Amino acid sequence: MTNFPFALYDAFSDKAFGGSQAGIVLDTIGLDSGTCLNIAREFGWPATCFVSSSNAQSISARFYSTKREYQMCGHGTVCLMTMMVDNGALKWDRDGKISIKLDLLQSQTAVEISRLENGRALIMLDVEIPIHRPVEVDLPKLMKLLGANVDDLAGELPVETVVGSFTHLVVPIGSLDQMKQINPDFEGLKDYCNLSGIDTIAVFCTEVEIAGNDFHVRDFCPAVGVPESAAAGTTNGALTSYLVNHRLFCDDGSGKIELTSEQGLEMGRPSTLYSVASLRNGEVERLQVGGVATKIVEGQLSYEDQ
Mean pLDDT, the chain, whole residue set: 93
Phi, psi (rounded to 5 degrees) for 269? -130, 75
Please give the pLDDT value at position 184.
97
Task: Give the Å distances, CA to CA, from 174 to 52, 113, 203, 235, 241.
Answer: 45, 35, 10, 19, 19
Same domain, residue pair 140 and 268 = yes
Please give the pLDDT value at position 162.
97
Same domain, residue pair 157 and 244 = yes
Same domain, residue pair 190 and 262 = yes
* Residues 9-41: b if buried by 16+ CB within 10 A, e if exposed: bbbbbeeeebbbbbbbbbbbeebeeeebbebbe
Q: Give pLDDT tens digits for 191-211.
A: 999 999 999 999 999 999 999
Amino acid identity for residue 170 in this structure: V
Whether 276 contacts 285, CB under 8 Å:
no
pLDDT < 70 regions, the chain = 105-106, 306
* Three-state SS at 177: helix
Whether 217 contacts 202, CB under 8 Å:
yes
Please give the pLDDT value at position 94.
78
Residue 10's domain is classified under what CATH number? Answer: 3.10.310.10
Structural domain harbouring 82: 2-128+292-303
Task: Give the Å distances, CA to CA, from 105 to 72, 73, 111.
Answer: 9, 12, 16
Same domain, residue pair 270 and 145 = yes
DSSP state of 173: B
Q: Please name every residue paired with 51 in a beta bridge, in sequence order, or none if there are none.
A: 61
Please give the pLDDT value at position 306.
62
Q: Give pLDDT tens digits for 80-112.
A: 999 999 999 888 887 788 888 888 766 788 899
Same domain, residue pair 110 and 189 = no
- Structural domains in the chain (count): 2
Same domain, residue pair 10 and 60 = yes
Amino acid identity for residue 217 in this structure: V
Same domain, residue pair 10 and 112 = yes
Give CA–CA dist 144/124, Å, rounded.
36
Largest pairwise CA distance in the chain: 60
Same domain, residue pair 106 and 186 = no
Please give the pLDDT value at position 42.
94
Same domain, residue pair 88 and 159 = no
Amino acid identity for residue 49 in this structure: C
Same domain, residue pair 240 and 298 = no
Other CB atoms within 10 A of residue 285 CB: 11
Same domain, residue pair 85 and 168 = no
